[in-house]
Structures are given as C-alpha cells and as structure tokens.
C-alpha cells in the first residue's frame, strides 16, 4: 500500500462570509501537492446557527469550489458545510473526488450546548471512504466525544475529525484525539480553526496528525494559521497492528 500525503489547514475564518473564506482557502492551497486536503467544520462560514443566511443546496457555491479545487489539485478535498435539503439543514461533511463525484456524511452528534440540535438534523449513517487503498472514516467535531460511534469495527486505517472546537475545551480535544488513535489502532487527523468566531468565542486550533501509537507526528502549532502536509505510512501502521493485535480482544457490540 502506498503512503498517503495529507494536507491539514488550520485557518482563521471570516464569520458567515462564504466568498471571503473560499478566496482565503484558494490562496492558502495554491502551493499544495497532496492526496488529501482536510478543512475544518463549516469551513465556508464558521460554526453558525444562522442557517437562513448561509445554508446552500448541493449545487451551491462552496461545494462547487470543492469540486474545482479537487479537480485542479487532483486530490480529495474534505470538510463540512451548512447544507439545506428538503426543508432540513445538515452539518454535512463532503468527501469530494477529483472526478467530481463525492460522498457525504451528516454529523450525527449535534452540539446541544450551542443549540445545534435545535437547528440541524442529525445524520444516521457513518461512511467509510477509500483513497489509494486506505480506508478512512471521516467524522465531525462533537462526534469525537462518543467513542462507540468511532469504534474501528470495519478495519479503517485513518479517522478524521473536522472541527470548530473552542479553546476553552482544548484539553478534551487534545486528549480525546490521542485516545481515539490508541483505542482504534488507527491514524487520527484532527483539523480545527483558530481565532474568534462571530460569537466572540476563541479557538486555539490544536490541529494534529496522530499515529496509531498515540504519538503526534505533525508540527502545526496552536493559535497560528497553518497549512501542513504530513505523510502517513501504511507499512508502519500494518507492522504495529501485527505486532500488537489489540483488535482481536475487542468487545463485540451493536448500535441501535
């Protein structure tokens, strides 16, 4: 299996301004050469409940931008958007491929402390996507707190969390990312924003790429805008799983 080049983007976002954010990302990604670009949760707007202003359909501006960048860079682009569909709003992660095809995941665990559960409709199904033979499970922000949802029962190789996770809870973010990597014997990628949002809530970023041993292998620093490309080694992952096969003793369970 080939190694995987992953580019993580830790930006400041302009509140509810799709055009400004897309222009910013276009500029930041200009030099990128990679297999996968990972953007934060609600990357075109910030984490907003103002869905009547920023919600867009599946033919909207931000999704079309993802399609354009994916084709130009010949890589997958992923991140979540505010999507309106059949009179419902979704915090929807898009997995955009270079040929314009895409897969989608609607955030399952909606952040009730921010009234997300009163504004958006929760998803029901996880997705496992494939890239260069790698199996990848993409999730969104608050999903990180629920380990049953991310349990590696299907043999994925990389778990992704795109987020708008505030600095006040950064201790939980940093430690739960490491825990998810160790318990699932998987690479974990966490991508978060920096700066204050429209509610004056500060975000420290703390974006990271973590290997299956729980070690951070990226160099992105908190509280700084950053674009970093990290290489994931499948050989290293496979060797560790064979030498220390924790999954063989995992408890069996069913989600209802």
The conformation of residue 122, written as its DSSP 8-state character, comes to: P
Among 32-36, 103-107, 175-179, 248-252, the range scoring the smallest mean pLDDT is: 248-252
Statement: residue 256 has pLDDT above 80: no
How far apart (Å, rounded) are the C-alpha atoms in residues 154 and 142?
21
* 165, 201 contact by CB (below 8 A): no
Question: Which residues are paired to 82 by β-bridges?
Answer: 91
Average pLDDT, the chain: 97
- pLDDT digits 0-9 by tens, 146-195: 999 999 998 999 999 999 999 999 999 999 999 999 999 999 999 999 99
How far apart (Å, rounded) are the C-alpha atoms in residues 216 and 244?
19
How far apart (Å, rounded) are the C-alpha atoms in residues 229 and 15?
26
In this structure, the number of other CB atoms found within 10 A of the CB of residue 239 comes to 11
Residues 218, 144, 104, 23: is their CA dihedral positive or negative? negative
CA proximity to 136, closest of 176, 97, 179: 97
Active site residue 41: yes
How far apart (Å, rounded) are the C-alpha atoms in residues 110 and 246?
31
How far apart (Å, rounded) are the C-alpha atoms in residues 96 and 29?
15
- pLDDT digits 0-9 by tens, 50-102: 999 999 999 999 999 999 999 999 999 999 999 999 999 999 999 999 999 99
pTM for this model (two decimals)? 0.97
Q: How far is CA 43 from the centre of its chain?
A: 10
- What three-state secondary structure class fits 93? strand
**Which residues does 22 contact at the CB level (< 8 Å), separation at least 6?**
44, 61, 62, 65
Strands 158-162 and 187-191: parallel
Question: 225: exposed, middle or buried (C-beta count within 10 Å: 0-12, 13-18, 19+)?
Answer: middle
The residue from 73, 75, 97, 141 that is catalytic is: 141
| Per-residue pLDDT at 128 | 98
Percent of the chain with pLDDT strictly greater than 90: 96
Active site residue 104: no
The residue from 16, 41, 56, 116 that is catalytic is: 41
> Which residue carries 């496992």 as its tokens?
128
- What three-state secondary structure class fits 251? coil
The residue from 107, 116, 158, 167 that is catalytic is: 107
| Per-residue pLDDT at 27 | 98
Statement: residue 252 has pLDDT above 90: no
Phi, psi of 104 (to 5 degrees): -140, 150
* 107, 140 contact by CB (below 8 A): yes
Strands 208-210 and 202-204: unpaired
How far apart (Å, rounded) are the C-alpha atoms in residues 56 and 76?
21
């Amino acid at each position: 299996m080939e190694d995987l080049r992953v580019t993580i983007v830790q930006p400041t976002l302009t509140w509810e301004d799709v055009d400004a954010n897309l222009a910013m990302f276009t500029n930041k990604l200009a030099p990128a050469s990679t297999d996968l670009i990972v953007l934060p949760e609600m990357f075109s707007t910030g984490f907003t409940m103002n869905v009547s202003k920023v919600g867009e359909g599946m033919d909207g501006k931000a999704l079309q931008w993802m399609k354009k960048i994916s084709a130009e860079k010949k890589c997958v682009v992923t991140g979540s958007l505010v999507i309106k569909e059949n009179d419902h709003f979704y915090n929807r992660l898009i997995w955009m491929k270079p040929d314009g095809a895409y897969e989608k995941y609607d955030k399952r665990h909606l952040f009730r402390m921010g009234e997300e559960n009163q504004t958006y409709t929760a998803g029901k199904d996880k997705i496992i996507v494939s890239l260069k033979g790698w199996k990848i499970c993409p999730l969104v922000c608050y999903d990180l707190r629920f380990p049953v949802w991310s349990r590696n029962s299907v043999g994925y190789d990389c778990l992704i969390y795109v987020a708008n996770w505030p600095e006040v809870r950064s201790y939980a973010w940093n430690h739960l990312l490491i825990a998810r990597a160790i318990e699932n014997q998987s690479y974990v990628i966490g991508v978060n924003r920096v700066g204050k949002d429209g509610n004056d809530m500060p975000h420290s970023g703390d974006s990271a790429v973590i290997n299956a041993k729980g070690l951070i292998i990226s160099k992105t620093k908190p509280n700084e805008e950053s674009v970093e490309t990290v290489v994931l080694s499948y050989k290293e992952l496979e060797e560790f799983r064979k030498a220390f096969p924790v999954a063989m003793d995992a408890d069996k369970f069913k989600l209802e």
